[in-house]
Amino acid sequence: MAGPNPPYYTPLSKPPAAATSYWKKPRLYSLAVVTILCSFSYLFSAWQHSGATTSIVRATIPCFPSTNITIKAHSSSSSSTSTTSTELDFATHHSADESAAAATVPEETIKKYPPCDIKYSEYTPCEDTNRSLKFDRDRLIYRERHCPEKDELLKCRVPAPHGYRNPFKWPLSRGLVWYANVPHNELTVEKAVQNWIRYEGDRFRFPGGGTMFPNGAGAYIDDIGKLINLNDGSIRTAIDTGCGGAYLLSRNIVAMSFAPRDTHEAQVQFALERGVPALIGVIASKRLPYPSRAFDMAHCSRCLIPWGQYDGTYLMEVDRVLRPGGYWILSGPPINWKNHWKGWQRTVEDLNAEQMQIENITKSICWKKLVEKGDIAIWQKPTNHLHCKKFHKTVKNPPFCPAQDPDKAWYTDLETCLTPLPEVSNNEEVAGGELEKWPKRLNAVPPRITRGTVNGVTLETFQQNSHLWRGRISYYKTVNNQLEQVGRYRNILDMNAYLGGFAAILTEDPLWVMNIVPVEAKVNTLGVIYERGLIGTYHSWCEAMSTYPRTYDLIHADSVFTLYKNRCEMEDIMLEMDRILRPEGSLIIRDDVDMLVKVKRIADGLNWETSVAFSCSSTSSIISIYVDL
């Protein structure tokens, strides 16, 4: 693609025949014929109108159904699908000359994007260690997101390290990672006595141990399960301040793990290579990029966060993202300090003072301590704030936060106050609405929708969206049959998730989806996504994502480029997609025709192998581009 025999394995390398053979199967010849006919008709119409550069091109092209490929009609305003012969209306918004030129761009005029220097193989633009040193070390502010200025953005493709290989397939990947993919020996030395990671020849092995898991992570989760119910579906989403979520997945609990880039170097990277959800992040001066009432459980096992400092601000942030009735689990210092203080090399007075700080803060935010047994302590957040408000009439520290949006969490400053829960009429009522247990939670109407707190989203909207995505996923699988291959994709990103419909249809497959709700979206729906038992984060695609290169096997982008039109450069978004996509990964891009003409041009410059499939609609035209690197 970019030339013979690349010096190292990069996304420029052409995948082996097995990885792309589905495009060559006879059953897709009919799609190729449709594509050729559509393209010819489009160009012929543009040629007919080429004498009038101010005219609008309108080419009406029949979409031919096939016995093997079902061409389905999709509408941005309707959830209906159709297998009957429909017409694709190219209602473009550019002149004929522009259209023809865009469709027939000479090879030499396409901007090429070369590979970056190999030193950038683990480049994380907004958590760059060199840039971070310029910022304040107080409260770990230097470890937060600090993105490059526009003139600092790289215009090249981040390469993979020498010897890179495709990760092991799940569930094998949970315990094995290729050394060449994450060439860091530091943790094998630092955690040698913990039995967390071993270096064996060309790979790392994760036996399931850890500082607080002398009998293995599985046994540790079992110990927690003896104290609270992890098996009845009431606990589905968890936030893990570290990267220990791998063994919760066997309990149908999906954990969002986070850790900073530097002192925990490679922990997030290892988690992602193992097929476990994770983001680079830190509790410092900004809110975590999640909505309020998102998680059923928060977990910290020796995460080294100073929970008792800064007047309890960090625990108040955990309280904000914790669902009413949710649990906070703490193991490691200072829990069980009487038995561990010598091994931790800390004084009895210091550890006792730290635990008392935590105990006092949790009481002040109305949490109830359920149990402390051995190395584990568990607190529970109240299901509503009726009693808490009475308590705070006499004890006014911390105060309730003033009127604000508790879901606003993109570069939003932390505050030393308690986020109030939605009002209730009696003490038995769950603030914000009670959730179904998993898996019923996935398709039940989320309380945020039934209560009318999501602008413009109704019960009917939710049901139509669910129906729409059943049809779309079915359609995607007819074009890219790798979606039907169990284990082909493990880490998936949805760049504009809306209500999480894309992820919801895929939940029965052995994969996970990171659902992004762009901060520029008209409606904030991330809380709805979490109420469905899915996970995600806020993000602006004008900036780099807080993740390592080669994180995702599949990226889905629905109307992303329309959303960011006139906001930031398309090439920068696509270079970021290229950075976080694994070699031989895939992209599915849905957008308006005008946007995809530009996308195709940049994709050619990125040496992406593209294939175009047409969806037909009477109201709008959408093209899906499938990209295999």
pLDDT tens per residue, range 146-198 = 999 999 999 999 999 999 999 999 999 999 999 999 998 776 655 555 567 88
User: 466: helix, coil or strand?
Assistant: helix
Predicted confidence band at 301 (pLDDT cuts at 50, 70, 90)? very high
Predicted confidence band at 586 (pLDDT cuts at 50, 70, 90)? very high
Q: Which of 593, 613, 600 minimizes the C-alpha distance to 57?
A: 593
Indicate the DSSP class of residue 397: S
Domains 17-22+115-143+438-628 and 214-394 share a fold: yes
Indicate the DSSP class of residue 115: B
The mean predicted confidence, pLDDT, of the chain is 83
Of 85-89, 560-564, 621-625, highest mean pLDDT: 560-564
* For range 234-248, the mean pLDDT: 88
Domain 17-22+115-143+438-628 in CATH 3.40.50.150:
yes
Helix H or strand E segment including 124: none
The answer, yes or no, to whether residue 492 has pLDDT greater than 90, is: yes
Indicate the DSSP class of residue 199: E
Distance CA 143, CA 341 (A): 29
Predicted confidence band at 81 (pLDDT cuts at 50, 70, 90)? very low
The answer, yes or no, to whether residue 282 has pLDDT greater than 90, is: yes
| Residue count (the chain) | 629
pLDDT tens per residue, range 440-485 = 999 999 999 999 999 999 999 999 999 999 999 998 888 888 999 9
More confident residue, 208 or 448: 448
Q: What's the gap between Cα 263 and its chain centre?
A: 23
Q: What's the gap between Cα 315 and its chain centre?
A: 24
Distance CA 249, CA 236 (A): 10
Q: What's the 3-state SS for 262-317?
A: CCCCCHHHHHHHCCCCEEECCCCCECCCCCCCCEEEEEEECCCCCCCCHHHHHHHH
Predicted confidence band at 382 (pLDDT cuts at 50, 70, 90)? very high
pLDDT tens per residue, range 113-154 = 999 999 999 999 999 988 998 999 999 999 999 999 999 999
Strands 56-63 and 86-95: antiparallel
Inter-residue contact 254 to 529 (CB < 8 Å): no
Predicted confidence band at 80 (pLDDT cuts at 50, 70, 90)? very low
* For range 249-274, the mean pLDDT: 87
User: 387: helix, coil or strand?
Assistant: helix
Least confident of 63-77, 336-350, 396-410, 421-435: 63-77
Pick the CATH number of 214-394 from 3.40.50.150, 3.50.50.60, 3.40.50.1000, 3.40.190.10: 3.40.50.150
Predicted confidence band at 216 (pLDDT cuts at 50, 70, 90)? confident
Domain ranges of the chain: 17-22+115-143+438-628, 24-107, 214-394
Predicted confidence band at 242 (pLDDT cuts at 50, 70, 90)? confident
The answer, yes or no, to whether residue 619 has pLDDT greater than 50, is: no
Query: In this structure, is the dihedral angle defined by the CA atoms of residues 18, 22, 26 and 29, taken in order, positive or negative?
Result: negative
Predicted confidence band at 86 (pLDDT cuts at 50, 70, 90)? very low
Predicted confidence band at 34 (pLDDT cuts at 50, 70, 90)? very low
* Cα distance from N-terminal residue to C-terminal residue, the chain: 9
pLDDT tens per residue, range 314-358 = 999 999 999 999 999 999 999 999 999 999 999 999 999 999 999
Helix H or strand E segment including 380: strand 376-380
Q: Give me 335's structure tokens.
A: 């829990």
What separation in angstroms does the CA of 85 have from each of 6, 80, 82, 260?
45, 14, 8, 53
Helix H or strand E segment including 109: none
Predicted confidence band at 58 (pLDDT cuts at 50, 70, 90)? very low
Inter-residue contact 629 to 614 (CB < 8 Å): no
